[in-house]
Chain A
Amino acid sequence: MDDAGYVIAAYGVIVGGLGLYTVTLWRRLRAARDRDDEAR
């Protein structure tokens, strides 16, 4: 593959970033819901 470094860097950051954001979002959502349940 030509320019493999560029292709890997592009896909790695975009797909990896999507995955990382999703996992972070799950954790934030769980923490917020736990606090919400405690308050009730």
Chain B
Amino acid sequence: MKTRVLGIAALVAVLVTVYVALAIVPPDRNQGDAQRIMYPHVASAWLAYLSFGVTALSGIAWLWKRDLRFDALALAGAEIGVMFTAFAIWGGMMWGDPVWGVMWQWEDPRLTTTALLLALYVGYLLLRRLTDDPERRATRAAIVGVVAAVDIPIVHFSVEWWRGLHQTATIGSPDRILDPAAPMAFVGTLLGMLGAFTLAWLYLMIRRYQLARAEMRNEESARRVTLRRARTAEAAQ
């Protein structure tokens, strides 16, 4: 019931903030309406970091505690993180074309390291399909999830460490987001969309975790049935 209320709250928050971003907040003086893409683009990027962070921490927790609930949480983070990374890349391409004149540039460190992040966690999801043994799968996935997370700070700080097309960080840069010169309408809309998308993320994480746990129980049931049949066949011989 609580999760359903969270889902309804997230839906309302996303719809309201999208309406504000598209119809209420004025266009940017230099970039025009294309700048409106910044709101879901930044929110998606933030949630990609958060999701993969959850995957890495849950992977460490699995390696330490050997509790499959941590593996379920890690899987939820990876799948939802892949989705938000794809949204961030797509939003960036749609914003980049009218503003930079190109959708994509492989020489740009932020773009390339983000593409690498997407590839690493798609690989994580594919790796999970290689074995049916839940413990072996969880251990392999945890190692990949933790190693892949090294790319998260590289993505974030790439705009500070190397030169490229992409602007410097918005999130984690108080000078930028709390700049008194930044119109409050822009900052408020960005923070509103960050909050709305984070609510939606929380709802999806809970549902995806529940799905992972149900799938684990189904796998366990199927294994027990196979074992029982094998024993019955053995006894009949």
Contact = CB atoms under 8 A, between A and B. Distances in A.
Interface of A: 1-4, 6-7, 9-11, 13-15, 17-18, 21-22, 25-26, 28-29, 32-33, 35-36, 39
Given A6-B98, A32-B214, A13 B90 contact: yes
Contacts, number: 84
B95 A10 contact: yes
A23 B221 CA distance: 26
Contact of A15 (B34, B40, B204): B40
B36 A7 contact: yes
B40 A32 contact: no
Nearest to B211: A29
A32 B211 contact: yes
Contacts of A6: 34, 37, 94-95, 97-98
A21 B40 contact: no
The majority secondary structure among interface residues of chain A is helix
Given A2-B32, A2-B98, A14-B91, 7 more contacts: A3-B33, A9-B94, A17-B86, A22-B204, A25-B211, A35-B214, A39-B218
A10 B33 contact: no
Interface residues of B, number: 35
A29 B217 CA distance: 12
A21 B34 contact: no
Interface string B201-224: 001100110110011011001100
B40 A29 contact: no
A6 B33 CA distance: 9
Interface in B30-79: 32-34, 36-37, 40-41, 44
Contact of A36 (B14, B40, B97, B221): B221
A10 B204 contact: no
Nearest to B225: A39
